[in-house]
């Protein structure tokens, strides 16, 4: 078994002495925090990105991500101390790197097939400059086998060297919650599986030493990638179950949130909550990595696919609730001013990737409504084709309906009486994220609907 040039035992010392070079491919929501965290640990980090503005912003010590607590300071300090730099030049980043970490996006095409083009491009680039004895680490979320069967062969054909012999190839899928990334990066154990235990060990020691997290070593990259998908699909399927309960319980006059809270009193019940749908770059996409592998192997993952269908149906259900509530208020969607409270795909982050709010806005516009947006993360900014209002008060004037689409903290202390004074009463109030208590909305005079709640 070839010994790794960077002996795992030596890594902690070399890191402390600033002798470890790391290249991070892609300075997005995962790549930039990863680069900054390793720079803080003493590594000499070069971040490679195709976007000139991100490279310039980073080298100026500024952070393009505004909603990740602690990241801006790390970027500023890393650049000031000379441990962190960004570049457009792949050779400059990769050629001398001991570890090269791939953090590029893996969305899905319209056809729902996985789009691994960024991973393929990164692999081709790295393959040209990869240093003998170094380790390539894939943090991007991919289907099981993609590292072994797609990334590996590209690296070999570009470099003329052998995976597992001349250089290492390891999967270490990112597990950080957007919006809590710097905290998660120090606390959530990392699942690490390489082609060959020596490369797995070296990578595990690097993450344990630099990030202070526990490393869970698994037998190979496909196992690490299967684990990543399992935890995300476990979440997507459980959210779909919560949404299915909500659709059922609405008909049965049962309050789904009351039920879930009651069930959560049992140790082995993991609460997931119904809502307007599942958004973000992860859950709505990840299922299709396994579904496409399943279809290829003739083993259709019905439950996973059905869960996607249920979650994808929820924005339309929210539109049904909006229509019902407006009718109860003696109005129709057509001609009504409807205020979307929040458009981000989840609370307290500035991200509308695959957000369920987009489908709701499109439908409401098609039905003749005048849609306004108030999202604390997009005050006065263009988002989803509309300009976000600078304040909820400004959006609320003359409104016929309010729709909570994102459970931002700001909406937790809502002054419903104040809103009802500004609105064109009687108005409707649809809480598609179960942020406010139904009784307080009704008490304020609104026609109320909530996902999975009793009207
Ligand atoms: N959602 C619900 N009901 C719930 C929980 C979430 O409707 O009970 C919705 C959210 O509002 C959001 C979507 O689901 O629209 C996804 O929310 P999320 O909290 O799962 O957030 P993500 O997608 O940003 O992060 C997930 C996380 N995965 C897990 O918790 C298993 C995160 O840890 C991963 O790192 C991330 O995917 C990723 O990058 O894969």
Q: Running DSSP on this structure, what letter comes out for residue 377?
A: G
How many helices and strands, by DSSP H and E, does the chain display? 18, 15
Q: DSSP character for 300?
A: -
Q: Which residue has the tokens 């008909």?
A: 251
Query: Are the C-beta atoms of residues 20 and 44 closer than 8 Å to each other?
Result: yes
Quote the pLDDT of residue 2. Answer: 44
CB 205 within 8 A of CB 275: no
- Please determine, for residue 6, whether its predicted confidence score (pLDDT) is greater than 80: no
pLDDT of residue 7: 84
The pocket around ligand 1, CB under 6 angstroms, is made up of 141, 174-178, 231-232, 235, 239, 272-273, 275, 278-280, 282-283, 345-346
How far, in Å, are 319, 350, 362, 365, 409 from residue 358 at the CA level?
12, 14, 6, 11, 20
Cα of 434 from ligand 1 centre, angstroms: 16
**150 secondary structure, DSSP code:** I
DSSP secondary structure string, 380-435? T-EETTEEPPS-HHHHHTT-SEEEE-S--GGGTT--HHHHHHHS-SS-EEEETT--
Check: CB of residue 40 under 8 Å from CB of residue 78: yes
Active-site amino acid positions: 228, 282
Using pLDDT thresholds of 50, 70 and 90, give the confidence band for residue 236: very high
| pTM (whole model) above 0.85 | yes
- Per-residue pLDDT reduced to its tens digit, 123-160: 999 999 999 999 999 999 999 999 999 999 999 999 99
Q: Give yes or no for residue 305 having a pLDDT over 90.
A: yes
Tokens of 230: 């399992």
Which of 108, 114, 107, 126 minimizes the C-alpha distance to 24? 126
Read out DSSP for 4-32?
Answer: PSS-GGGHHHHHHTT--EEEEE--STTHH
With residue 40 as reference, give the H or E element that holds it. Answer: helix 31-40
Report residue 4's pLDDT band, with 50, 70 and 90 as the boundaries.
low
User: Is the model's pLDDT at 313 over the cut of 50?
Assistant: yes
The band of 38, judged by pLDDT with boundaries at 50, 70 and 90, is very high
Pairing of β 382-383 and β 386-387: antiparallel
Give the ligand 1 atom nearest the CA of 175. Answer: 35
Within 8 A by CB and 6+ apart from 213, the residues are: 185, 186, 187, 188, 189, 190, 207
Ligand 1 center to residue 119 CA distance, Å?
22
CA 414 / ligand 1 centre spacing (Å): 24
Q: How many angstroms does the Cα of residue 132 sit away from the middle of ligand 1?
A: 38
Can you tell me the mean pLDDT for 370-396?
Answer: 98
Cα-based distances in Å from 141 to 7, 57, 121? 27, 26, 15
pLDDT digits (tens, 9 = 90+) for 158-210: 999 999 999 999 999 999 999 999 999 999 999 999 999 999 999 999 999 99
Which ligand 1 atom sits nearest the alpha carbon of residue 345? Answer: 15
């Amino acid at each position: 078994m070839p010994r790794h040039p960077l002996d795992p035992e030596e890594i902690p010392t070399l890191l402390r002495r600033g002798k470890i070079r790391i290249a991070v491919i892609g300075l997005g929501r995962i790549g930039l925090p990863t680069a900054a965290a390793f720079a803080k640990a003493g590594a000499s980090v070069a971040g490679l990105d195709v976007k000139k503005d991100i490279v310039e912003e980073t080298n100026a010590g500024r952070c393009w991500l505004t909603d990740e607590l602690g990241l801006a300071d790390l970027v500023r300090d890393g650049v000031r101390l000379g441990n962190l730099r960004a570049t457009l030049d792949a050779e400059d980043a990769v050629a001398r790197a001991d570890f090269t970490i791939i953090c590029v996006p893996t969305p899905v095409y319209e056809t729902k097939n996985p789009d691994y083009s960024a991973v393929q491009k990164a692999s081709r680039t790295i393959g040209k400059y990869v240093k003998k004895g170094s380790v390539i680490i894939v943090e991007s979320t991919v289907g099981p086998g993609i590292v072994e069967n797609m990334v590996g062969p590209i690296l070999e054909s570009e470099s003329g060297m052998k995976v597992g012999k001349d250089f290492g190839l390891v999967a270490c899928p990112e597990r950080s919650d957007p919006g809590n990334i710097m905290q998660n990066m120090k606390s959530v154990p990392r699942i690490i599986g390489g082609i060959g235990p020596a490369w797995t060990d070296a990578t595990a020691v690097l993450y344990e030493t630099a990030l202070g997290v526990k490393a869970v070593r698994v037998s190979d990259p496909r196992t690490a990638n299967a684990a990543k998908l399992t935890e995300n699909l476990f979440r997507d399927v459980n959210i779909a179950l919560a949404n299915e309960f909500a659709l059922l319980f609405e008909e049965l006059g049962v309050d789904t949130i009351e039920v879930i809270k009651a069930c959560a009193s049992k140790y082995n019940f993991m609460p997931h909550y119904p809502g307007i749908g599942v958004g973000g770059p992860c859950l709505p996409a990840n299922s299709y990595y396994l579904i496409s592998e399943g279809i290829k192997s003739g083993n259709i993952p019905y439950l996973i696919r059905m869960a996607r269908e249920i979650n994808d149906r929820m924005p339309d259900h929210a539109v049904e609730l909006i229509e019902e509530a407006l009718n109860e208020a003696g109005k129709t969607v057509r001609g009504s001013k409807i205020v979307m409270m929040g458009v981000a795909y989840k609370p307290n982050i500035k991200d509308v990737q695959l957000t369920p709010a987009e489908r709701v806005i499109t439908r409401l516009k098609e039905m003749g409504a005048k849609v306004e947006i108030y999202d604390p993360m997009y005050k006065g900014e263009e988002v989803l084709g509309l300009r976000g209002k600078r304040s909820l008060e400004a959006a609320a004037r003359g409104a016929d309906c309010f729709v909570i689409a994102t459970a931002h903290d700001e909406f937790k202390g809502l002054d419903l009486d104040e809103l009802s004074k500004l609105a064109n009463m009687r108005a409707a109030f649809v809480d598609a994220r179960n942020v406010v208590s139904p009784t307080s909305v009704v008490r304020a005079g609104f026609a109320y609907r909530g996902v999975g709640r009793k009207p």
